[in-house]
Amino acid sequence: MDEKNSFKPYVPAEKITPEFTVTAVIMGAILAVVFGAANAYLGLRVGMTVSASIPAAVISMGVIRFILKRDSILENNLVQTIGSAGESLAAGTIFTLPAMFLWANEGVMDKPSILMIAVTSAIGGILGVLFMVPLRNALIVKEHATLPYPEGKACAEVLLAGEESKESAAPVFVGLGLSAAIKFVLDGLKVIPGEIAMKFKGYQGEVGVQVYPAVFSVGYICGPKVSSYLFAGGLVSWMIFIPLIVLFGGDSTLYPGTKTIAEMYAAGGASAIWSSYIRYIGAGVLVSGGIISLIKSMPMIASTFKDSLKALKSNNDVETIRTNKNMNMLHMLIMIAAIVVIAVVVPFIPLSPIGAILVVVFGFFFAAVSSRMVAIVGSSNNPVSGMAIATLLFSTLILKALGINGADGMKAAIVIGTIICVIAAIAGDTSQDLKTGYLLGATPVKQQYGEIIGVIVSAVAVGFILYLLDAAWGFGSEELGAPQAVLMKMIVQGVMQGDLPWGLVFIGVCLGIVIEILGIPVLPFAIGTYLPTHITACIMCGGVVRWFFDRKKDEDKEEQISRGTLFASGLIAGEGIVGILLAVFAVAGVNKIIDLSEVLVLPEPVADCLAIVVMAIIICTLIRVAKGKKKA
C-alpha cells in the first residue's frame, strides 16, 4: 500500500481528461488490424513477432496530437492499448492454427472456417484480458518498484516525449515507406533477388543472407545477444548437422525420409535434409527449452499465484479513485463462465467440457507466467511458443488417454493450444499496457475494455488474413514456412499417431539441455536451429547494427537507439502491409502482370550485387534516422 500511496502518475487521479473516445477506439481498431496483419505475416515467415505498442503509440501521437490537434496523452495511450492487441492475438494464432490448414492439404480434416478462427481467437484473447484483472494489483501496483516491464515503461516515455516533440513519429513513417518500396521491388516486381546464397565445393553446408527489411528489423529490435543465439542455432543446423547427415547417411534410407540421403540431397540440396530431419531436432530443442523455462519459473509462478489469490480476496476493498478502478470482479467471473459455456456449446468449436477445464486451468496458469515473464524480459522475448508446446504435449496425452483420437483429437488439441497461446500472448501485452497506463495515470477499467475491443476486432480480421496468405503462397512453403505451426503439427500428430521420430527429437532435447548448461537461452537458439540460415543471418545483420549503437558512448545514445527501434518497427509494418497486398495480388492473378523476372533477367553476380545494395540502403538509412539531426 505504501507504493500505491507514494507513486504519483503523470496525470493525477483527480484530473479528468479525454480517454475512452470514439476517435481512440476507431484509430486503435485500425492499428490493431494493421499490426495484426503485419505480425501475422512476419511470424509466418520467421517464427517470431515483435511488440507493436511503441509504434502504435507513435502513430497515435502523429495523428491525434499533431493532425487532429487533440491534446490528451491518455487518449493516445488508449489507442496504443487497443492497437497492440492485434499483434499479440496474431502471434498466438499463427503459431498454432495453420497446422489445421496443413492437415487439410493432406486430406486429414477440413480447413478451419473463418468463423471458427475468429471465435477461437476471441475466446483466448478475452480470457487473457480477464485473467489479468486480478493480477494487476499484485504485479503492476504492488511490485511497481521491482518489476520493470521494459516495453510498458518505454511506451510511457515515448508518449511523454511526444508531449514536447512533433518529430517523434517521423522514424516510423520513414521506415514504413522504405520497407514498402523494397518489399514491392523484391517480391512484387521480382527484379532483385530477396536472398544471396553461398555453397562450398565438396562441403554440403549452406549459408546465405536475406535482404528483407522486416527480418533485419527483428535483429535490431531483439539486440545482438538474441540475434547471435538465433544465428548460432542456424549455423549448428546448416553447417554442422546437415553436412554430417549427408556425409554419414550416404545411400542409407533413414526414417522419416523415404529416399536415400544421397538422393534427397541431390534432388533438393540442404533444404531437403532440413525438411526431413533437422526440423525434428529443432522441435526437440524447443520442447526442452519450453520445459526448462517453466521449471526455472516455478518459484516465480508460485509467488504470482499467491499474490493473485490475495488480490482476489482484497478486490472488494479496492480504492475508488479513478486510477485504481479495475473491471468489476463479479462481472469478470460471469464473463469467464459465459465464455467457457460458449466454447463448449458452440458446435464449430471442437472443445469438450474436459477441454474447457484444461483451457481455464492452463490459461490462468500461463497468464500468470506470461505477465511475470514480460515484466522482466519484455513482450518480444515472451516464450509463448514454449508454453504452447508444453500445453499441446500435456493436452494431447490427456485427450488420447480419454479416447479422443484421430483427426478429432488433433483438432481439439490444436484448438486448446491456440486458446492457451493467445491467452499467454494477450496477458503479456495487457500487463505491459497496464504498466504504461499506471505510469501515465490512465483508468485501468477503460484500458481493460479497450483491450477486449482490440481483441475482438483482431479476431474478426485474423481469419481472413490466414485464408488470404494460405491462398497466395500456402503455409509451409518457401515464402511462408510457418515454422512454429509446422512444429505444433508435428508434435500433436506424432503423439496421437505414435509415429514421431523420437530419436531425432531426443537429440534435440539433449542439445537443448547442453545449451542450457552452457548458459545460453534455449528458445532463441532452438528457433535458430529450425529456421533457414538465410533468415538467421539477416537477423544477425540487424543485431550487429544494434551492437554498433549499444557500444557508443554518446550522450544521446539511448535516444538514438529509440529512434532506430521506431524506424525498425516501421520497416516491419511496411513489409507486412505490402506482403498482405501482394497476397491479394496473388489470389487475383495480378502478381503475374507485375512480375518482371522473366522480362528483365540479370546475370547472377549483378543480381547479388543489387541485393547487397538493398541491404546497404536499409542499414545506412537506419543509422541516418537513428542519429537524427545534428544539434547546434
Mean pLDDT by 10 residues, the chain (632 residues): 64 89 93 88 76 76 76 89 89 89 91 94 95 82 76 78 66 87 90 85 84 88 88 92 90 82 86 81 76 68 59 53 85 90 88 85 80 66 67 83 87 91 91 92 94 95 93 84 82 82 87 92 80 87 94 85 85 80 82 84 89 95 84 40
In this prediction, residue 154 carries a pLDDT of 73
Q: Which residues contact 571 (CB under 8 A, 6 or more apart)?
A: 175, 176, 178, 179, 213, 214, 216, 217, 618
Angle of helix 73-94 relative to helix 444-472, nearest 10 degrees? 40
Residue owning grid cell 496530437: 65
What 3-state class would DSSP assign to 198?
A: strand
Backbone angles phi, psi at 105, to 5 degrees: -65, -25
d(CA 193, CA 217): 19
Cis peptide before 193, with omega less than 30 degrees from 0? no
Angle of helix 298-314 relative to helix 279-296, nearest 10 degrees? 50
What 3-state class would DSSP assign to 168?
A: coil
pTM of this prediction exceeds 0.85 = no
- Report DSSP state, residue 592: H
Pair type for strands 203-210 and 195-200: antiparallel
Instruction: Identify the helix (H) or strand (E) that includes residue 209.
Output: strand 203-210
Q: What is the CA radius of gyration of the chain?
A: 24
In this prediction, residue 318 carries a pLDDT of 47
In this prediction, residue 129 carries a pLDDT of 95
In this prediction, residue 497 carries a pLDDT of 82
Question: Hey, what long-range contacts does 221-224 have (CB within 8 A, 24 or more apart)?
Answer: 221/50, 221/380, 221/542, 221/546, 221/565, 221/568, 221/569, 222/48, 222/50, 222/380, 222/381, 222/524, 222/539, 222/542, 222/543, 223/543, 223/546, 223/547, 223/550, 224/543, 224/544, 224/546, 224/547, 224/550
Residue owning grid cell 491456440: 418
